[in-house]
Structure 1
């Protein structure tokens, strides 16, 4: 297994793809965190209260939710890219059984997801510092909790991508499906379900669950830090507005989002194991 893992690291770092997808993570993490700190509704609340708010908690959620798709794409191309380059045959012949290859990729891409997550945390923090100043970070413990959730979300998106790429094994389809699903499909579904009895279903969709890992943690912490003892009087509409902008779903616990998304990742990984064992590579 050690040899397979080392081989996977060599495959990653001898190509340009890993840093090409890391660049938008850095740019979006910084930009979303910086621009998100100027959200109009928050600025008006700050003026009314006469004190700075921990906006960095919210912008970390926004930055993570924009950036995770690139970790997912990187993970998805772990298998799909090898099928495109025809190197999967050599990989399977030298890494038999095929399940060992999947295991090596999961170990390797977990570490890559951590790298992407650390880049997201670092540059989102710099963006929050540029937009909201030191006071925008809130309590140190709250900040660390939200950052840890961001790291976890990035890793899970990477692993889901690995499983999805193993199932589909076509890089063009993988890229199109992930991008369209995250940025178009769920948005359309949400619009369709708004106001219906089935509106809560949207919280269990992969994209919403992924964003809820951070958003459903960051928004309640922000409200608690801002309102203090008056938290119970904060209107639901404000929660919903913050979730709409910064991610997550009102009234949906972050740990349930975590379990839901981890479940999707596990399903795709198991599916990837099943199909990779049976797919013809000749």
Structure 2
């Protein structure tokens, strides 16, 4: 098993895919953090707060929810690419059982997802620091920052694992790239909008994209409101929460841990499907 993991890492680092997907994660993270300056300017025009706004928490949430698509694409392409270049044949012939190949892929892609997650949190925090000034209270308490940052890293890792399962199922690189993009930014968005103000509105937080976004956003938004409102948080209008969730993802009054469990279920389903299909798939 250790030899398979080493072989998978050699495959990853012998191509440009891993760092090509890392670049937009870093850029998006930094830009999301830098946008904190704009939000400060807008809010200060409306009302003068007596406390620092922990916009760094929202910056990490925003950058994570955009950056996870690249972790997903990396995981999907790392497996589907083996079928495109026919390297999967030699891998399956030298590894027994085939499930060990999937396990090695999951370990290596989880590691890369961890790297993406750490890079995202660090560069989003750097952008927020440079954009909002050297006031560390822009990140809330150290516990808040570590909680949101940890959730961001975990989210990135889980998206990479889901991508491995998806790539193993579809085996087509073009489909592995197009399908997630169309689903997340078109299909699920359309479905979520159509469910609003209906009796099925409660289903929306359990869709894959919403659940993945909620891992960070459903933690960051309440922490932000709590830091700003203080003892008056229970009196904060629901509209304030919903406006923040609209921009930064997540769902009002939906706990982050429930989003985590929901998304874990999706990731596990794709990985289980990949294992089941991979055992019986013919390779040339």
Shorter-chain TM-score bucket reads over 0.9
- SS of the residue corresponding to residue 251 of structure 1 reads coil
Alignment partner, residue 138 of structure 2: 136
Do the aligned partners of residues 196 and 90 (structure 1) sit closer, same or farther apart at CA in structure 2, a change above 3 Å counting? same
Alignment partner, residue 262 of structure 2: 260
Equivalent in 223, 233, 236 of residue 234 of structure 1? 236
Structure 2: give runs of 5+ residues left out of the alignment: none
Alignment partner, residue 274 of structure 1: 276
Alignment partner, residue 22 of structure 1: 22
Whether the 8 Å contact between 1:167 and 1:275 is mirrored in structure 2 is yes
Report the Cα distance in structure 1 between the residues aligned to 2:97 and 2:118, rounded to whole angstroms.
33
Do the aligned partners of residues 41 and 245 (structure 1) sit closer, same or farther apart at CA in structure 2, a change above 3 Å counting? farther
Report the Cα distance in structure 1 between the residues aligned to 2:41 and 2:10, rounded to whole angstroms.
47
Whether the 8 Å contact between 1:46 and 1:52 is mirrored in structure 2 is no
Report the Cα distance in structure 2 between the residues aligned to 1:69 and 1:33, rounded to whole angstroms.
18
Alignment partner, residue 102 of structure 2: 102
Alignment partner, residue 185 of structure 2: 183
Report the Cα distance in structure 1 between the residues aligned to 2:112 and 2:220, rounded to whole angstroms.
24
Task: Measure how far apart 1:136 and its partner are.
Answer: 1.1
Alignment partner, residue 64 of structure 1: 64
Alignment partner, residue 202 of structure 1: 204
Task: Measure how far apart 1:51 and its partner are.
Answer: 3.2
Do the aligned partners of residues 37 and 210 (structure 1) sit closer, same or farther apart at CA in structure 2, a change above 3 Å counting? farther
Alignment partner, residue 127 of structure 2: 127
Report the Cα distance in structure 1 between the residues aligned to 2:19 and 2:93, rounded to whole angstroms.
28
Task: Measure how far apart 1:39 and its partner are.
Answer: 2.8
Report the Cα distance in structure 2 between the residues aligned to 1:34 and 1:274, rounded to whole angstroms.
44
Structure 1: give runs of 5+ residues left out of the alignment: none
Alignment partner, residue 48 of structure 2: 48
Report the Cα distance in structure 1 between the residues aligned to 2:60 and 2:164, rounded to whole angstroms.
25
Report the Cα distance in structure 1 between the residues aligned to 2:179 and 2:224, rounded to whole angstroms.
33
- SS of the residue corresponding to residue 251 of structure 2 reads coil
Whether the 8 Å contact between 2:54 and 2:140 is mirrored in structure 1 is yes
Equivalent in 219, 225, 232 of residue 227 of structure 2? 225
Report the Cα distance in structure 2 between the residues aligned to 1:206 and 1:26, rounded to whole angstroms.
24
Equivalent in 126, 147, 150 of residue 148 of structure 1? 150
Whether the 8 Å contact between 2:51 and 2:228 is mirrored in structure 1 is no
Alignment partner, residue 172 of structure 1: 174
Alignment partner, residue 158 of structure 1: 160
* Pairwise CA RMSD: 1.4
Task: Measure how far apart 1:50 and its partner are.
Answer: 3.5
Whether the 8 Å contact between 1:60 and 1:125 is mirrored in structure 2 is yes
Report the Cα distance in structure 2 between the residues aligned to 1:121 and 1:83, rounded to whole angstroms.
33
Question: TM-score with structure 2 length normalisation?
Answer: 0.96
Task: Measure how far apart 1:213 and its partner are.
Answer: 0.1
Whether the 8 Å contact between 1:34 and 1:130 is mirrored in structure 2 is yes
Question: TM-score with structure 1 length normalisation?
Answer: 0.97
